[in-house]
Amino acid sequence: MIGSLRGTLLERGADQVVLIEAAGVGYEVVVTPRTATTLDPGAEVFLHIHHHLREDAQTLFGFPTREERTTFRTLIGTHGVGPALALAILATHPPATLAEIVATADLGALTLVPGVGKKTAERLLVELKSRLSVAVLDEVAGASTNGASPVGDVREALAGLGYGAEEIREVMRDLPQGADAPALLRVALERLGARRA
């Protein structure tokens, strides 16, 4: 399984497929339009890869951050969401925005995704509420085993989700004392979602 790619960007196609040469081999990687615009032909690039295997095909999906790949994997693990819809969701809403949308149950924002109607959006909100939290909390729990403080882990996780320094400072001021990192992160995300609602 391919987990990441570092190499030279040879081509950037119009169909969201980029060609990256690594160690003399050219890899076709599917990316979001937003990611494609940040990649320049001839430049060195690094992408976190999801290696998608099916009976009839193998596809590489590339993401600039580990959080985006984690969110993509969470989305395709959700009932009725395939890779194409997961990419469309991420192309419309980056991970931090999607986490907010789910936390605040913003149905209208989800229907902005091409191919997502009201009924699909309602189902996605229900399913993603637990799945997205678990994905983010698992990453924080993994970081906690490295001996870092729970507060530091939460600060890093929020920054990784795209929250600004001022927002993080404000929400960190009044978090409950003595809780572990996953519990603190859950509280912080709820409060941040309520403030932006």
Split at pLDDT 50, 70, 90, the class of 31 is very high
**Is 99 exposed, middle or buried (CB count within 10 Å of its CB: 0-12, 13-18, 19+)?**
buried
Phi, psi of 44 (to 5 degrees): -80, 135
For residue 147, give both structure tokens: 């001996």
80 half-sphere exposure, CB direction, 13 A CA radius: 12
Residue 141 has pLDDT above 60, yes or no: no
When the pLDDT of each residue in the chain is averaged and rounded to a whole number, the result is 83
How far apart, in whole angstroms, are the C-alpha atoms of residue 133 and residue 151? Answer: 17
Q: What is the DSSP string of 79-100?
A: TT--HHHHHHHHHHS-HHHHHH
Q: What is the pLDDT of residues 44-97, one digit of tens each?
A: 999 999 999 888 889 999 999 988 999 999 999 888 889 999 999 999 988 888
Contact 47, 29 (CB under 8 A): yes
- Give the helix ranges, DSSP H, for the chain: 33-37, 66-76, 83-92, 95-103, 107-110, 118-144, 150-160, 165-173, 181-196
Q: What is the pLDDT of residues 166-193, one digit of tens each?
A: 787 788 777 777 777 788 888 888 887 7
How far apart, in whole angstroms, are the C-alpha atoms of residue 43 and residue 180? Answer: 42
Tell if the pTM clears 0.75, that is, is over it. no
pLDDT at 165: 74
* Higher pLDDT pick, 96 / 36: 36
Residue 138 has pLDDT above 60, yes or no: no
For residue 175, give both structure tokens: 């978090």
